[in-house]
Chains A and B, each alone.
Chain A
Amino acid sequence: AQKITQTQPGMFVQEKEAVTLDCTYDTSDPSYGLFWYKQPSSGEMIFLIYQGSYDQQNATEGRYSLNFQKARKSANLVISASQLGDSAMYFCAMRGDNNNDMRFGAGTRLTVKP
């Protein structure tokens, strides 16, 4: 079975600074996709960024980038120039080519300080 681990229950960052949220994974699938979602206090799940296991370059999407290190099985989310609106829960998730389920990590609560 696939497993996603997020070891940081909570993180603090100063406004305008960058922050890295950690995610490690384990899978036996030869190809897979890694995702990050944001969940603000209102509760909805907002898709942020995707990284494919065969992608040569790290994914970027505006202020979000994914630091993908395949050998280490890590897919850390980097948020640059943090804004107050970035305060939320962040979830890492994975879906494999053979495993059809989509599993999530426990999440990291990010708080941006003014």
Chain B
Amino acid sequence: NAGVTQTPKFRILKIGQSMTLQCAQDMNHNYMYWYRQDPGMGLKLIYYSVGAGITDKGEVPNGYNVSRSTTEDFPLRLELAAPSQTSVYFCASTTNREYTEAFFGQGTRLTVV
């Protein structure tokens, strides 16, 4: 039972490049989230999904896109990477009940140079 798996763990991008951060969960959770955490700061919600085919913007969606074609996968796409997107990205998942905690992946450390 792997929980939430994020790949890659580390990545360096050049300005203007694009990439996809992968997130997969094997707990059959409906809700999935993408957060970014800048150094010394809290987690900011980028996008979230309440089920396959349904996504919605969070607090800081600009510069990112998501899709949810299956329950298991929730990839985050960065188009035209900018230095401001240098951050640690966390994916999380949970059930559709407000009293269950979210399970987090190990994070992806992204540097844009």
Taking CB atoms, residues of chain B closer than 8 Å to A93 are 102
Encoded as 1 (CB less than 8 Å from any B CB) or 0, chain A from 86 to 114 comes to 00000101011100111111110000000
Assembled-state Cα–Cα distance A32/B43 (Å):
19
Interface of chain B, helix or strand or loop or mixed? strand
Taking CB atoms, residues of chain A closer than 8 Å to B90 are 45
Contact present for B42 and A91 (CB under 8 Å): yes
Interchain CB contact (< 8 A) of A50 among B41, B99, B104: B99
Contact present for A44 and B106 (CB under 8 Å): yes
Q: Is A68 an interface residue (CB 8 A)?
A: no
Tally A-B pairs: CB < 8 A: 61
Contact present for A101 and B35 (CB under 8 Å): no
Task: List which A23-80 residues lie within 8 A (CB) of chain B.
Answer: 31-33, 35, 43-45, 47, 50, 52
Taking CB atoms, residues of chain B closer than 8 Å to A100 are 31, 48, 50, 56
Report A's interface with B, CB cutoff 8 A: 6, 31-33, 35, 43-45, 47, 50, 52, 91, 93, 95-97, 100-107
Report B's interface with A, CB cutoff 8 A: 31, 33, 35, 41-45, 48, 50, 56, 58-59, 88, 90, 92, 94, 98-104, 106-107
- Besides A33-B100, A101-B33, A104-B44, 14 other CB < 8 A contacts? A33-B99, A35-B101, A43-B88, A47-B101, A47-B102, A91-B42, A93-B102, A95-B102, A100-B50, A101-B56, A101-B58, A104-B35, A104-B43, A106-B42
